[in-house]
Structures are given as structure tokens and as C-alpha cells.
Structure 1
Amino acid sequence: MISADLGRQLEAFVAGLVETGRYNSKSEVLREGVRLIQERETKLAALDASIGRGLADADAGRTSDAASVFERLEAKYRAVP
């Protein structure tokens, strides 16, 4: 079991969520908070991995200059009816 000191402001916020019926218990509020942090951390890890792949591509010379990318995109969207 985890015991946490949230401080007055957060404790009051959590208590308010329970009192208004939004959540059934303080534990439920904290579980939801931890789930949200877990989701955010998962997304950040995926972003870090993507950045790593991009940097590896750049280091290996697998890049295109911006002008050619913009030209290709402009041609693509001009062709869209």
C-alpha cells in the first residue's frame, strides 16, 4: 500500500472530486492520476524513440533538403481536385 502526502491544495482537490461524486474514493482519483501519467510516459517514450530514429537517419545521411520536400508537397496538393 502506498501512502502519499499530497499537501493541502491537492488533498482538497481530491476530496472535492469525491464529494461531488465524480469519483467514489480518494484511491480511485489517485489510480486515475497514475494511469494518466503512465499513458503520458508511454507516449513520451515513443516520441523519444522516434526522435532517435530521425537522428540516426540524419547521421546516416538519409535526409532530404527542405526545398525538395516542399516542392514535392506542393505538387502533390496541386494535383488534388
Structure 2
Amino acid sequence: MAQMNVSIPDALKSWAEHRVAEGRYSSTSDYVRDLIRRDQERADAVAELQAAVDAGRSSGRSDKTISDVIVEAINKYP
């Protein structure tokens, strides 16, 4: 496993130590790894959503009315 040294303000260090003291994390390193993992998951979800938005925008306009879309959705997911 790679090692990384990070400088943070005392208030953030105290916060991380407090989170470890609560018992959910075994160490501040464990806490930081979890934060990075969650940030990575969030970035992946945002990229996936952006790709869906881009695909929708590039697909063009539909001739369907809102009513048509609602009826299709009701029939597809009864």
C-alpha cells in the first residue's frame, strides 16, 4: 500500500480523531481512505449522470406529448 503524508489544520485533525473515537473507524487513515472512496464514488455517479444528460441532449427532440410519455410509463411499469 502506498503512503501519503498530508498536512491539515488542527481543527480538521481533531475532527478526524473524534470520528475515530466514535468507533466507526479504526484509525484516521481508515477515515481518510473512506472519505476518498466516497468522493470517488460520487465523482463516478456524477460522470454517469452527465453522460446520460449528454446522451439525452444529443438524441434530439421527440414528437411525443407529455401525455404520451405518461401513458407509456404506466404501461411499461404497471
What TM-score do you get using the length of structure 1 for normalisation? 0.73
CA distance in 2, matches of 1:55, 1:75: 20
Root-mean-square deviation over aligned CA pairs: 2.2
- Matched with 1:49 is 51
Give the fraction of aligned pairs with identical amino acids, expressed as a percent.
25
Aligned partner of 1:71 among 61, 67, 74: 67
When residues 25 and 76 of structure 1 are mapped into structure 2, their CA distance, relative to the original with a 3 A threshold, is: closer
**1:64, CA displacement in angstroms?**
2.1
- Matched with 1:24 is 26
Provide structure 2 residue ranges, at least 5 long, that are not aligned to the other structure. none
CA distance in 2, matches of 1:21, 1:57: 49
Higher helix share: 1
CA distance in 2, matches of 1:76, 1:51: 19
CA distance in 2, matches of 1:52, 1:45: 10
The structure with more radius of gyration: 1
Q: Which consecutive aligned stretches of 4+ in structure 1 deviate over 3 angstroms post-superposition? A: 74-77
Provide structure 1 residue ranges, at least 5 long, that are not aligned to the other structure. none
SS in 1 for 2:6: coil
When residues 21 and 64 of structure 1 are mapped into structure 2, their CA distance, relative to the original with a 3 A threshold, is: same
